[in-house]
Structure 1
Amino acid sequence: MSNAENLIHEIDTFLEKSMLKTSRITKEELTGFIEEKWREADDEKYNIYQAYIIISRMINEYIQVKDFDNMARWLTFSDRHTASQNTPSYILHYYAGECCLECGNEEKALEYFRLSYAENPDYIFSRAPFCYEFFNRHLESPRELPDRTEDSDEYPDLSIELDCWKTFFNTEDNEFRYELFDEEDDYLYEPTLEQQNGLDYLKENQEKILKNILNELLKQYPELQQTYGYQEGDKRDFMPDINDISGFSDLLSPTCFYVTSVVKDGYPYIGFGFTCSWDSEHGLGIMTCKDRIVETGGAEVAFNTWAAEEDL
């Protein structure tokens, strides 16, 4: 009987623990644990999709420390996985070349890029600029490349300063990203009058809004614990018992705020997205109107307007 599924699950759980705000797991401990469990797992691991994600993670870990030999070894694991079987070889060659270039091995990168280029001459030029610019310098007849000096983001980077939130979540700065949406759910460059009212209200009442969000979550937390059903050590790491809202500071991190076009009494509904320790895939979403909690749930609650529309 295969042991791969259980061992891949162990790796996955360890990875999730390493990403917790309270984690003290070092990079060396992370890669060491994964290497050990990977060796223990039989070849059925190459048929488990989560293992493919783990391979990509290990490739990136070794790229970060410029460890070419170990990175290249994990590239061979990637090639063996069934998820790679239906991927065109020019894409696989390009990916390998990009990894080699990031790891500092230009000679090997060029070798892979040439293999990709031979099969599909246009593909590399649709990918990362640092790759195609490097490769283009080695072509006998270089292509004319687009001028990137005037490149700019399509949408501005919008943020709001919330000192209270910074203190509670222990973030590096007090600026939190937000997005603006029109009635068609398209991005806006500038807030409407009502949306600006909402942003001003958030800044002026940031502590009250945060407390209301956390108090509502605290009410629901015991039921959420039962739903997720973490046991023993995993519960302590991912969803520990807490007695007051201060316990959420280590379990949550704000990701993005969503200022919708749905308006009530001159103020927009604003959704708040969070990562949460107990559900790394779905996260946490809260929809509000001023300082009132409208709906809680997965991350989609923060940016889908159905809860706001039903509340009107």
Structure 2
Amino acid sequence: MKEITHELLGYFTFEEDQCVWRKKNKLVIFNQEFDVNIDIVEYDEEYEQGVEFEEDASGHFQDEQIDALTTFYDHKDNILKEVENAIFTYYQENYKVYRSYENTESNKDQVAPIISKKEDLSPLLQDMGLFIAERDAAGLRKIGITFECTWDPNHGLGVLLKNEQVAAVGTIDDAIE
């Protein structure tokens, strides 16, 4: 297993099965501490694609990726409050649809309960992740925040941040565009 210690971002290991550099950390959201996988795609400028194999991984990240993660940590409390609000709004707008997929009231309450406050989302979320892709043409700082969730176990929950602002809430695919 390949390992690096980045001068600004710290210790990472290369996860060949995911084609990412991974760092473990903890974050608090919805009043719950989550173990978080922070994944960064290493981009190979020569081949114009993400590095896929450990032997090709050098641990060189793009400036936008470094800026995205350091800026996130500099402002994480405010950013995570905005993410909480966005997820709560998304849930309130969509939970009835997810409840309609279940055939018993017990299942509905387990998968997508009726809730009235943000903190009630906490038990419905697991396995938080941050995903930092390679830079895009616009040069935006992008971070995808992902969760497994009870209401959509196949597609999960994702929030896309662009320049630390919530740009989209939906499935994990929406967060790692």
* TM-score normalised to structure 1 length: 0.42
Aligned residue in 2 for 1:291: 164
Residues 255 and 274 of structure 1 are in contact (CA less than 8 Å); yes or no, is this contact kept in structure 2? yes
The reply to whether residue 161 of structure 1 matches residue 34 of structure 2 is no
Distance 1:161 1:285, change over 3 A: same
Aligned residue in 2 for 1:103: none
Question: For structure 1, which runs of at least 5 residues remain unmatched after alignment?
Answer: 1-151, 305-312
The structure in which a higher percent of residues are strand is 2
- Matched residue pairs, number? 150
Q: CA deviation at 1:263?
A: 5.2
Distance 2:88 2:137 in 1: 26
Q: What is the RMSD computed on CA atoms of the aligned residues?
A: 2.8
Question: For structure 2, which runs of at least 5 residues remain unmatched after alignment?
Answer: 3-12, 16-20, 52-56
Q: Which amino acid aligns with 2:110?
A: D
Equivalent residues in 2 for 1:61-210, closer than 5 Å: 152-153=1-2, 155=14, 157-159=21-23, 161-165=25-29, 168-171=31-34, 173=35, 175-182=36-43, 184-187=48-51, 189-210=59-80
Q: Which amino acid aligns with 2:14?
A: Y
Residues 179 and 256 of structure 1 are in contact (CA less than 8 Å); yes or no, is this contact kept in structure 2? no
Residues 42 and 60 of structure 2 are in contact (CA less than 8 Å); yes or no, is this contact kept in structure 1? no
* TM-score normalised to structure 2 length: 0.70
Aligned residue in 2 for 1:245: 118
Q: Which amino acid aligns with 2:83?
A: I
Distance 1:222 1:259, change over 3 A: same
Residues 195 and 267 of structure 1 are in contact (CA less than 8 Å); yes or no, is this contact kept in structure 2? no
Residues 212 and 291 of structure 1 are in contact (CA less than 8 Å); yes or no, is this contact kept in structure 2? no
Q: CA deviation at 1:207?
A: 1.9
Q: Which runs of 4+ in 1 moved over 6 A?
A: none
Residues 131 and 145 of structure 2 are in contact (CA less than 8 Å); yes or no, is this contact kept in structure 1? yes
The structure in which a higher percent of residues are helix is 1
**Highest CA radius of gyration, 1 or 2?**
1
Residues 274 and 285 of structure 1 are in contact (CA less than 8 Å); yes or no, is this contact kept in structure 2? yes
Aligned residue in 2 for 1:308: none
